[in-house]
Chains A and B, each alone.
Chain A
Amino acid sequence: MVDQIPNLGRESEMLGALGLSSMDELFANIPEEVRRDEPLPLPQPQSEEQILEDARRLLGVNVHLDSRPSFISAGLARNFVPTMVPMLATRGEFLTSYTPYQPEVSQGMLQAMWEFQTMVSELVGLPISNVSMYDASTSAAEAITCAVRVKSKKASQPSSVYISELVPPHRMSVIENYAQGVGIDLHTLPHNEDGTLDLEAAASATGSCAVYVEQPNALGLLDEGLMDLREAIGGSTALIVGVDAVSLGIIEPPGSWGADIVVGEGQPFGIGPTAGGPIYGLFACSKEFLRLMPGRIVGQSIDSEGQTAYTLTLSTREQHIRRHRATSNICSNETLIALMGAMHMALLGPEGLEKLATRVHSSTIATLGAVTSVPGVELVNPEGCFFREFAVRIPGSAKEALESMDSAGVLGGFNLGNWWEEMSDCLLIGCDEGTTEADISALTDALGNWIGGASR
């Protein structure tokens, strides 16, 4: 027996009011030739108790990050989310509301999103933020298409965009999917031996629509040279920077060194890695991009009596008004997760953010020191400065090393060979605020044991 349907058992009365006698008659407009007569080959309905039991059993089989020393990051963070965040964000009014098209009864969510926009704007050092994108990859992709819309007419390399070669392939694939339809030529910007961006080569992007780089890059490296990138590419090309949002607690925000658009993964603020979603993408920009940017934006306004109110604004960019001329097809975004992010940011406060970033950084430095003392392990970028993660080369296959560490109960990192074949002997080791000395010992023991065993 199914539940959740209040009118179960009362259908005769309601059908009678319509002059009908069976539920089937309601579907009379479906032509015979396309009707489904046989029942759906699906299992019997379950009660909440049974569903919960199955969920516990199935999800209980998964090995979760907090159950063992874990050093995998690669774009997401094994963060600690304050208890207040899920408890408040899942209040029914927030959880079960739709996009706030009726501002008079949506002031709470609208104000929360306006506050979110302000906190993101402050974080990255740019004046405008939207209410979120799907994730860091679609933020980057739509930043690129947005920049081309804004810059193409005056660019000497119209429709050209230059992208760091160290953007990981899965994010690059999203960018390619979004860019191909609007005819954008994607070019690659090379990096130097030491992992930093080749600034001389970057000068070739002068006159193009946009440059996209990440700080830190996919190997975890913080690149001071990026602060000279604006000068290298000239003033007319949009500079788009992907960030680790937490790092901005101690690292100068790109808005202060010439970025026009800042994108990144919002997930470390607000929600666990959640197997990759729902998470949310940050998207902030300067005024030049405002009218052609993607996503929802909340503005302050007044009501008919002159009191302060909030409403969605600049909707004329959007698909429900502009249809095929819209700046993006985005409709549902990740508002609830952005709300969780806002709550987390507010709980941290400015000094709390700085402390969180310092914790992550110190975990990384401690882990890096310990791992590179394991005989045979070498830092890929020995001169580098790292925030959350770093890459090491090991004597042998990263895949086998991870398998060995797994059987020792350690999630020892990410096999960079999955992204770049020539790095199949490299691990990307990611840390976070929860990394402990004991975790680090477990990691170095497991890695050392594998190296010792492998060389025997």
Chain B
Amino acid sequence: MSTIFDFRGAPGTGWSQPEPISTPSDTIPERLRRGHLPHWPRASEPELVRHYTGLSQKTFGIDTGFYPLGSCTMKHNPRVNERIALMPGIDRIHPLQEDSQVQGLLSIFYEMQEMLAICSGMDAVTLQPVAGAQGEFTAIRCIQEYHRSNGESHRDKVIVPDSAHGTNPASASMCGYQVVEIPSASDGRLDIEALKAAVGPDTAAMMITNPSTLGLFETNIVEASRIVHEAGGQMYYDGANFNAIIGKTDPGRMGFDAVHYNLHKTFSQPHGGGGPGSGPIGVKGHLSQFLPTPVASRRESVEGDSTGVEDGYWYFWADVGGRSIGKVQQWNGNAGAVVRAWAFYRRYGRELERMSEYAVLNSNYLRNRIMNPNPDVAAKIHCMPAEGAQADLVMHEFTLSMSPVKELNGVTGKDVAKRLLDYGYMSPTLYFPQIVPECLMIEPTETESKEVLDKFAADFHAILSEDPEIVTSAPHTTPVKRVDEVWAARKLILRHPITDSED
């Protein structure tokens, strides 16, 4: 297979640049000077345009087709957002510029902080964390400093349900906490008895997402909050599934003290093959003095202020103060993602709850379609939770267990996932949450049409009726066949070997 290192043009091939503005006398000591240039490709723009266009054609995005990747909220990314993010008023801004030079940007940050606080029932928001996992880390750090400031440094345990995203325990652990995992109840929901048994004077916090990764609303969330608070712990809301509840309820009402948001899920910042993300956090008042610094703030304009955005306010970066945890990213977060999310939120405004409504409608509709095939096919799928599944409502996502079909003819969840690629779909999230055997986790989002959902359900049923041999050897129509991940981990070929005869 060809790679970019096959481009071996003449030395100097590539993109031309103006000459240096002066010829510096040789101020760099000989020893510091680079001996050999890196073996980078020597390619012209036409060659590279074709190279990267070819690579893009071997990449599946939301733009390519239905992307039902549970917990990742793969909704349409409006293109105007990209246009805005390339404006010089954001792209060509330095984060250390004076407030007077970035009034427009500050006003957007302020508006976003306010909007996120409103939607989540929190009192203060920072946009500094640059990914969901970093938001988790940041919020747990704030909780940690809160306990320390109360003389309660002995609280050293964070409770997470076994259905939690892997980032939750990883983030808690990075802050120095021991992680206590509690099992889910048989209906897939939080086990209140297990929680009661787990809390104690050493509880620092509980991390939980609601709806859960099973797509279920935790109906006893208020009681859970009460139990954790009575033990002196703090409640942390993982906002990965925030797309399900906006305008219908909020973490503040449920009793949470801190929450992170994924602007790259709920608010349409594109995922870009694995980032950038943006993971702002919101907190209740008692935690606000621990937030990372600075946050966007404003005061009423006074005479003598230079021209701002002319809405009657002067915006500024406000230092959070001596108890702030400091910085988690050295600047002010992924401002480009914040601006994209701002453009997205402005599309919905007070109608943001429509987004959640249609996301939940699409999820329930697709689940209903998938769970009501002819009886032959029906015997091959379990819907989770196993009992009462047909009648029970889910939120924005749902899980299926492929255990029955595996027992019947050896087709695994992974096989079904790979076969879906042949039908032109991205695979659902596979084998997560780990508590569901042979799990497929499906999240359609609000930006898919009924026709797409109907077709997906029909294709899903067709796969379960196919010759198992075809399914277990899938995919058949993709740029490469099933990739050997064990081979990759054994050989560890992590870069091009590059043998350059010229040097």
Contacts and interface: CB of A to CB of B under 8 A. Distances in A.
A105 to B, nearest CB: 4
A86 B24 CA distance: 32
B302 interface: no
B21 A366 contact: yes
A273 B94 contact: yes
Nearest to B310: A61
B350 A335 contact: no
A274 B90 contact: yes
B386 interface: no
A329 B133 contact: yes
Interface string A333-372: 1111101001101111111111110110111011000000
A371 B136 CA distance: 46
A169 to B, nearest CB: 9
Interface in A228-283: 248-253, 256, 271-278
B426 A100 contact: no
Contacts of A329: 133-134, 136-137, 167, 170-171, 173-174
Interface in A365-399: 365-366, 385-386
Nearest to B253: A34
Contact of B484 (A57, A251, A303): A303
A88 B49 CA distance: 7
Nearest to A119: B40
Given A34-B254, A66-B92, A435 B21 contact: yes
A333 B494 contact: no
Interface string A176-190: 111011110000000
A204 interface: no
Given A5-B355, A13-B450, A331 B217 contact: no
B132 A46 contact: no
Interface stretch (A24-32, A150-158, A448-456): A24-32
B250 interface: yes
A282 B361 CA distance: 42
Nearest to A81: B91
Nearest to B430: A101
B495 A127 contact: yes
B90 A177 contact: no
Contact of A97 (B93, B271, B473): B271
Contact of A64 (B85, B93, B271): B93
A300 B493 contact: yes
B489 interface: yes
A102 interface: yes
A310 B192 CA distance: 44
Contact of B38 (A122, A183, A298, A418): A122
Given A63-B97, A72-B97, A96 B270 contact: yes
A59 B89 contact: yes
Given A27-B360, A170-B330, A100 B58 contact: no
B245 interface: yes
A361 B24 contact: yes
Given A4-B347, A41-B118, A348 B104 contact: no
Given A30-B249, A227-B32, A65 B61 contact: no
A351 B14 contact: yes
Interface in A86-144: 86, 88-109, 111-115, 117-119, 121-123, 127-129, 131-132, 134-138
Q: How big is the B interface, by class?
A: 35 or more
A214 B479 CA distance: 43
A111 B247 CA distance: 41
Contact of A324 (B170, B334, B343, B352): B170
Given A41-B118, A105-B60, A14 B34 contact: no
A19 to B, nearest CB: 9
Contact of B432 (A18, A117, A320, A433): A320
Contacts of B11: 350-351
Contact of B491 (A248, A300, A323, A356): A300
A277 B335 contact: yes
Contact of B270 (A63, A174, A336, A354): A336
Interface string B422-439: 000011001010000000
A251 B20 CA distance: 17
Given A5-B358, A277-B130, A350 B42 contact: yes
Contacts of A50: 346
Interface in B314-341: 325-337, 339
B280 interface: no
Contacts of B328: 138, 174, 177
A108 B37 contact: no
Contacts of A58: 89, 104-105, 107-108, 309
Given A181-B174, A275-B102, A347-B48, A118 B337 contact: no
Contacts of A227: 31-32
The interface centre, meaning the residue of B38, B43, B328 with most chain A CB atoms within 10 A of its CB, is B38
Given A29-B216, A64-B92, A105-B60, A98 B37 contact: no
Contacts of B175: 180-181
A294 B364 CA distance: 37
Contacts of A106: 58-60, 273
Given A64-B91, A174-B329, 12 more contacts: A17-B368, A56-B87, A58-B89, A70-B94, A94-B272, A111-B1, A127-B494, A275-B94, A302-B484, A321-B166, A333-B274, A336-B274
6 contacts: A13-B450, A36-B247, A84-B48, A252-B34, A308-B1, A313-B492
